[in-house]
Amino acid sequence: MSTSADPQDQVSKEDYKVPSAIAGRLVWPIRILTFVTAAFMLAIAVVTFVDVTGRYVFNSPIRGGVEVIEFLLGLLIFSALPLVTVKRAHIRVELFDGFMSARFKNIREVVVLLANAGMILFITERMWTTAVEMAEDGELSLHLQLPTAPFVFALSLLAAVSVVVQLYMAWRFVTVDLPQLEEGAD
């Protein structure tokens, strides 16, 4: 079996790493979150399948199916965000990477992680405040008349998990990954 020196081959192998394999001390929380995220994705698929089948085959869609999918989609997005962060799989534009030094790229990595944590913390606080207001007002969803505050509280808690993961990954980059990169450069 030959080993390819093509960097593209290395990138494709990295793409298939499971988040828990690179999560460090967060391995079990990330495994649990992966399961929860997969459950939300499966629930969306099942509700969509049943709704569409009911609509077109039996002329009887799920009452409030679109609303259920909307709630599940929000939960899916916010539960997947920490997983994307752990894998460092956020969308990146690498137009100027060829002009940057390795040291600058490393500093940029930490700054981006900390800035993301700050922005998500702001979003978390706004969602929590909104959920408190929804709970006080007794706000209900449009079709199913379900209280919306619990869903927004869940979204804000998942966003808070994202903040913790962003901060952990910044700390890990500075204390573990960066020293390994510098050892490899020697």
Enumerate the domain spans of the chain.
Answer: 7-88+98-185
Distance CA 10, CA 7 (A): 5
For residues 87 and 17, the answer to whether their CB atoms sit within 8 Å is: yes
Helix, coil or strand: residue 140: strand
- What integer pLDDT is reported at residue 2 of this predicted model? 47
Distance CA 167, CA 119 (A): 12
Task: Confirm whether pTM is higher than 0.95.
Answer: no
Q: Is the pLDDT of residue 19 over 60?
A: yes
For residue 162, how many other CB atoms are within 10 A of its CB?
Answer: 25
